[in-house]
A and B are shown apart, each in its own frame.
Chain A
Amino acid sequence: MKKYNFTFLIKSLPFGMLFLFLAACQRDNEDLSPVTFPTNPEVFIEGFSPGLNYAAFGGSVPTAFDVDTEVTYNNTSQTSMRFEVPDAGDPRGAYAGGSYFTDVPRDLSGYDALTFWAKASQPANIDVVGFGNDLGASKYLATISGLPVTTNWQKFIIPIPDPSKLTAERGMFLYSEGPENGRGYTFWIDELKFEKLGTIAHPEFAILNGEEQTETSFVGVTKNIGGLSSTYNLPSGINQTVNIAPAYFEFASSNPSIATVNESGVVTVAGGPGSAEITATVGGVTAKGALTLLSVGDFQSAPVPSRDAANVISIFSDAYANVPVNYYNGYWAPFQTTQSADFTVGGDDILHYTNFNFVGIEFSSPVINASSMTHLHVDIYIPNALPATAQFKIEVVDFGTGGTGAFTRAIPAAQSQQWISLDIPFTNFAGLSNRSNLAQIIFVDDSNNISSFFADNVYLYNNGTPPAAPTTAAPTPTHPAGGVIAVFSEAYSTIAGTDLNPNWGQATVVTQTPIQGNNTLKYAGLNYQGIQLGSPQNVSAMNFLHLDFWTANSTSLKVYIISPGPVETPFTLTVPTAGWSSIDIPLSAFAPVNLSDVIQLKFDGNGDIFLDNIYFRN
C-alpha cells in the first residue's frame, strides 16, 4: 500500500497532494484501515486472470465458451476466448451466455472502461455484453445491447458509468447471444481488460429514457423508475449507450412527504394531495428525465363487486378468479400509443393505461362462451381532469361468427377523477350477433381527450332477471316449403297482402324488430291483436299451425284462427317462456273453424310477446 502511494506521488504530484490531504481528512472517521482490494485490470489476456471464474447462464449451452489457441488477436497472445453460439433448437441450450467473476472483489475505481478486441465468423450483433454480474445482487450491472461485430478484429469500449462506485466489484464480464436468423456462429474476444483511457467524454445519464413524465397517483402506489442508461462519447467521436443498474444513480424526491424513492429507484407515494418530482444524478451529473407524481391522496378503490361468482366470468378483478387472459395490453402496432403502467395499491391490482388512444385485452386461449351472460361490467377512473365530455368506446369481439360489437358511453367532464361503474347489456353492443366465442375487449378514446385511465373489475355477468327481449333468433324452420303456407317468416314466402296490424281498436303496439338479424314480430302491451290474411286460405290439406313465441312477462296468451262468421276458437299457449317456445298445434284443436276458408288470426292475453315463423304445415 505504501509503495503504491509512493509511485502515485511521483507520477502526479499536484493530484497526489490533493489525495493525501483528503485521505488525512477522512482518517478521523476511520480509525480502522478500510479494506482495499486488488486493482488488477486484466480479465482475460493470456487465459484467465488470477481468481477469475466462469459460470454459464441457465438455459444456455454450458460448453459455449472455450479457450482458443489458434485464433487470437493480432497474434499478440497465445489464447483468446471463443464462443460458439448454437443453432436454434439445439438440444444443449438456446443460446450462449455466462458470467466471469472473481472470488475476491477488485477495485476498478481507477479505470474508466472495459475494453476488448472481438471478431466473429460472420457479421452479427451480440445481444448483450457487459460487466457487473456477480451471480448475486449484481448491483452495478452495466451492459451494451446489440454489439456489432464483423469478421475483422475490432476494439470495443464499454464505458464505466461512475468508476468511483466500483471499489469492490466481482463481476468482470458477461455475455449473452442467441442464434442469428436461427443459425449459430462463432465469435472471439481477446485482450479483455479494464483501462483508464481518459478519452471517454461528455457523459449523459437518463432515467425514464430521458423523458419528463407526469402521473396521477395515490398513497400506497409503488412504481419502478426504469429506462436507465448512460451515454458516453467514445474516442472515435461516436456515442455509446450503456444500460445501467439503479445503484449507479442517486435518486431524489423534491417532496418526500408526497413520494419517496429508494436506492433501487422504487418510488412509493407516501402522502397527498400534492406533487413530488423524482430526479436522479450520477456522480453529481444530473440525469435527463424526471417523474412528476401528482398524488391525489388516499387511493379510492373501485366499488367491490358483490355479484355471486357463479354468475360471473371475470377477466380482471381481485374479487373473482380470472379466466386465462393472453394480455391486458396488446401494444397493437403501428397505431396504438397506449402504454401500461399497472400498479398495486393495498393489495388491489389496477390496470393503468397511459398515453391512451386505444388498447385491447385478449382472452382467446380459450375464448369465452358468454351466451349465458347478460352484461359486461367495467369500472373506470380518469385521473386527469377532462377538458370536455369524453366519448369512451368499448368494443367486444367474437372470434366465431359474432363479429364486433361497439358501445359508446359519454362521460361528462365532471365525472373524471371518480370511479365510473359501467354495466352494459350485451344487447347494447351494436353489431355483435352472438357471443359464444368472445375473445377481446377493446377500449377506445373516441373523443381524443382521455389521456389515461384506470380500470378494475372487468367481468361478464348474468344479472339473474329475465331479459326483456330474446337475445337469440327464433329457431330456423326445417319443414319443406312445399308443405307450408306461411303467415310470418323469413324462411318461406308469405301470403301476399297480409296486414300484420289491422285496426281492430286494440291497445297492442306492433313492431317488427331484428334479433340477431332475424326479423321478429313484437307485441308490446298485448290486450288483443289480429292478423288479416291477404286472401282467404284453404288450409284443409294442412295438419298443424306452427308458432315460435317468446315472452318473459306474459301470464296469459291465446292464439285463434278465424273463418267467416266469424267462427273462431282459441288455443292456450304456455307462458312465460324459457327462451323460444316452438309449438305445432293440430288444426283439429281449432274446430269448428272452417279450415277451407281461413281469413284471420288473433292473439289475446297480456305482456310483451315476440313471435316468429307463423305458418300452417302438413
Chain B
Amino acid sequence: MNATYKMAQIHMLAISMLALTFFGCAPDDFQKLDERKWQLTWSDDFNGNAGQLPDAAKWTYDIGTGQGGWGNQELQSYTDSPDNVSLDGQGNLIITARRNGNSFTSARINTKGLFTQQYGRFEARLKTPYGPGIWPAFWMLGANIETVNWPQCGEIDIMELRGQEPYIIHGTLHGPGYSGGNPITKGFALTDARFDTEFHLFAVEWSKDKIDFFVDDFLYQRIERGDAPGEWVYDQPFFMILNVAVGGNYVGFPTDGTPFPQKMTIDYVRVYESAN
C-alpha cells in the first residue's frame, strides 16, 4: 500500500507541474524550499474498532445547525452519532453526510480546548466526498474566537472542495478585511484525476512570516505576512476542524443528482513543530 502510494505521488508530481503551468504563477525554483526538520507534536491515526467515535481526548463536536447554518446557510445538522462520524476499523475516520428526505445530517469535529498550536506543519491524508452541494473541509480557527470573534480570530483553510468540482481543492486565509467572499485563496486542480478516488495529503506549513499550502507535498500557494490586505492575525494558537457540510453559500444546494450518503475518509491528521 505504501509503495503504491509513493508511485502515485510520483505520478502526481508530473500532473502537478502541468497544473502549475495552468494556474501560471510561480517560477521553476518555487519548489526549492528551505530544508526543514519537523518534530511531531500531535497525531491521530484513527486506529480502533469499526463504529467507534473518534478519540474523545483529541476531538470534540460541533452539534446542530449553528447560527444561520454555521454562518454559511449550510443545510446539514451536525451530530455526534456513529452514523455520521466513526472509525472504519481499518485505520480511517469516516465522516458521512446523509440525506433524509429534504434534511441532512453530517459531522464536524474539532480540537478546540484539547489541542491548539501556533506555527508548524498541519497535515491530513484523506479522500474527499463528491457531488453537487457537498463541501468537505480540513481547516483551522484562531483559539481566541470566543473573545475576538470571527474573522478577527483568523481562519486557515488547508483544504476545501466543492463537490461539483471533485478535481479542484482550495487553500484559503480569512482575516479582518479579507473574509467571507473576499479571502486570500487559490485553487489547485488535477487535470486527469479527482480528489475523491484516492488519498491525497493536504498540508500547511505556517511560520511567523508566511503560510505555505501543499497538496501531496507540492507547494501550490505561499501567502506572506505582507500579502494580507488587512491585519495578519496568525501569531496565536489555532485549533483544527474536519467536517463535511451540505449546501451553503460556498457550494450551493445539493441537487437531485447528488449521490448520498457521502463519505470523507481520513487516514491520519498530524501536527509538527519546527525543530530547526
Asked if A14 CB lies within 8 Å of chain B CBs, one says yes
CB pair A202–B197 under 8 Å, yes or no, is yes
Q: Does B132 contact A (CB under 8 A)?
A: yes
Q: Are B131 and A196 in contact (CB under 8 A)?
A: no
Chain A residue, CB-CB nearest to B10: A14
- Which chain A residue has the least Cβ–Cβ distance from B259? A239
**B163 contact set on A, CB distance < 8 A:** 237
The prevalent SS among residues of A at the interface is loop
B191 with A237: CB separation less than 8 A? no
Most buried by A among B10, B163, B259: B259
Cα of A14 to Cα of B10 in the assembled complex, Å? 9
A238/B255 contact (C-beta < 8 A), A14-B10, A199-B167 known: yes
Do B192 and A238 have beta carbons less than 8 Å apart? no
Beta-carbon nearest neighbor of A236 in chain B: B164
Provide the bound-state CA to CA distance between A199 and B132, in Å: 15
Collect the chain B residues with CB atoms within 8 Å of residue A196's CB: 192
Q: How far is the CA of A196 from the CA of B7 in the complex (A)?
A: 21
- Assembled-state Cα–Cα distance A571/B264 (Å): 101
Chain B residues near A414 (CB-CB < 8 A): none
Is A482 in the interface zone, CB < 8 Å from B?
no
Residues of A within 8 A of B257 (CB): 238-239
Shortest CB–CB separation between residue A433 and chain B, in angstroms? 50
Task: Count A-B pairs with CB separation below 8 Å.
Answer: 57
B166 contacts A198, C-beta separation under 8 Å: no
A198 touches B191 (CB 8 A): yes
Question: When the two chains form the complex, which single residue of A14, A202, A237 contacts B164, counting CB atoms closer than 8 Å?
Answer: A237
Q: A14-B7, A238-B258 are in contact. Are A199 and B166 (CB under 8 A)?
A: yes
Tell me the chain B residues, 163-202 only, with Cβ under 8 Å from chain A.
Answer: 163-167, 190-194, 196-197
Instruction: Give chain A nearest CB distance to B108 CB in angstroms.
Output: 21
Q: Are A199 and B192 in contact (CB under 8 A)?
A: yes
* Chain B residue with Cβ nearest A14: B7
Q: With a CB–CB cut-off of 8 A, which chain A residues contact B122?
A: none
Structural contact, A201 and B7, CB atoms closer than 8 A: no
Q: Are B259 and A233 in contact (CB under 8 A)?
A: yes
* Chain B residue at minimal CB-CB distance from A239: B259
CA distance A198 to B192 in the complex (A): 4
A197 at the interface (CB under 8 A from B): yes
Asked if B194 contacts A236 (CB within 8 A), the reply is no
Residues from chain B with a CB closer than 8 A to the CB of A14 are 7, 10-11
> Cα distance A238–B252 when bound, in Å?
14
| B196 interface neighbour in A198, A201, A236, A238, Cβ under 8 Å | A201
Residue of B nearest to A13 (CB): B10
A206 to chain B, nearest CB (A): 14
| Complex contact B132–A238 (CB within 8 A) | yes
User: CA of A235 to CA of B197 in the docked complex: distance in angstroms?
Assistant: 12
Among A197, A201, A239, which residue has its beta carbon within 8 angstroms of that of B197?
A: A201
Indicate if the CB atoms of B193 and A198 lie closer than 8 Å. yes
Complex formed: what's the CA distance from A314 to B192 in Å? Answer: 63
The 10 closest A-B pairs by CB, nearest first: A198-B192, A238-B257, A237-B164, A237-B131, A237-B163, A201-B197, A237-B132, A237-B130, A198-B193, A199-B167
Beyond A199-B192, A237-B163, list 7 extra A-B contacts (CB 8 Å).
Answer: A197-B192, A201-B166, A201-B197, A202-B196, A236-B164, A236-B165, A237-B134
Which A residues form the contact surface with B (CB < 8 A)? 12, 14, 196-199, 201-202, 233, 235-239
A-B contact pairs, 18 of them (CB 8 A): A12-B11, A198-B192, A198-B194, A199-B166, A199-B167, A199-B192, A201-B130, A202-B130, A233-B130, A233-B131, A235-B194, A236-B164, A236-B165, A237-B163, A238-B164, A238-B257, A238-B259, A239-B259
